[in-house]
């Protein structure tokens, strides 16, 4: 039974990662190029708002799945790997990598929050203002640079966390 639950949790964890990381690549590779084809600025801005909102929903659901499944996996690690109760968590690479992974996750969540609640809305406001004639191209460019830097940093941190997760499941570092 616990093996079945473990499989379900790993599946949920990976599904969450796909939903969280996949759209970040799609937005950078697909949407940025596609949005430039929309020459009518009010239409482009409306489409941008829809795409970024849906992107937020997908990423949010993904992150929720990752956190729920990850919490299950770490709460059951001792039983699942039949590890002695008195053995320290930090006495095995599995535990050390997990702690590093959680610290990197905390930094990633901070970067993500700054991007979602500050840099992203600020960029859309700057694009809108430029289209209405109250903003300047320089303001839009600076907002875009900040937003892009945060996006790339968040994605790089997510990819690094994935490496650590994969390490926890290899012969040298896992408990099996």
Query: For ligand HEM, which residue of 66, 97, 119, 143 counts as binding (CB under 6 A)?
Result: 66
Q: Can residue 158 be called a binding residue for ligand HEM (CB under 6 A)?
A: yes
Binding residues for ligand HEM restricted to 91-110, rule: CB under 6 A: 105
Site string for ligand HEM, 123-152 (x = CB under 6 A): ------------------------------
CA distance 101 to 81: 20
Residue closer to ligand HEM by CB (options 73, 111) is 73
| Binding flag, residue 166, ligand HEM (CB under 6 A) | yes
* Among the residue ranges 29-37, 116-124, 127-135, 163-171, the one whose residues contact ligand HEM (CB under 6 A): 163-171
Name, in order, each residue with C-beta under 8 angstroms of 153's C-beta and a sequence gap of 6 or more. Answer: 111
Cβ-in-10-Å burial (0-12, 13-18, 19+) of 69 comes to buried
Q: Which is nearer to ligand HEM, 43 or 71 (CB)?
A: 71
Give dist(CA 134, CA 129) in Å, integer.
5
Tally of helices (H runs) and strands (E runs) in the chain: 7, 0
For residue 125, what are the CA distances in angstroms to 26, 36, 115? Answer: 22, 17, 14
Q: What residues make contact with ligand HEM under the rule CB under 6 A?
A: 10, 13-14, 17, 66-67, 70-71, 73-74, 77, 105, 158, 161-162, 165-166, 168-169
């Amino acid at each position: 039974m616990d093996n079945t639950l473990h499989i379900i949790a790993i599946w949920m964890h990976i599904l969450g990662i796909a939903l969280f990381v996949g759209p970040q690549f799609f937005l950078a590779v697909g949407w940025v190029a596609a949005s430039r084809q929309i020459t009518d600025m009010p239409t482009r801005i409306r489409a941008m708002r829809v795409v970024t909102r849906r992107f937020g929903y997908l990423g949010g659901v993904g992150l929720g799945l990752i956190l729920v499944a990850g919490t299950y996996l770490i709460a059951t690690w001792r039983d699942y790997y039949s590890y002695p109760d008195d053995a320290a968590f930090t006495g095995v690479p599995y535990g050390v990598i997990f702690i590093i992974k959680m610290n990197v996750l905390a930094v990633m969540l901070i970067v993500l929050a700054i991007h979602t609640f500050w840099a992203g809305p600020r960029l859309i406001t700057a694009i809108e203002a430029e289209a209405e004639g109250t903003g300047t191209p320089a303001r839009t460019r600076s907002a875009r640079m900040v937003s892009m830097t945060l996006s790339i940093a968040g994605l790089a941190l997510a990819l690094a966390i994935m490496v650590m997760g994969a390490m926890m499941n290899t012969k040298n570092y896992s408990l099996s």
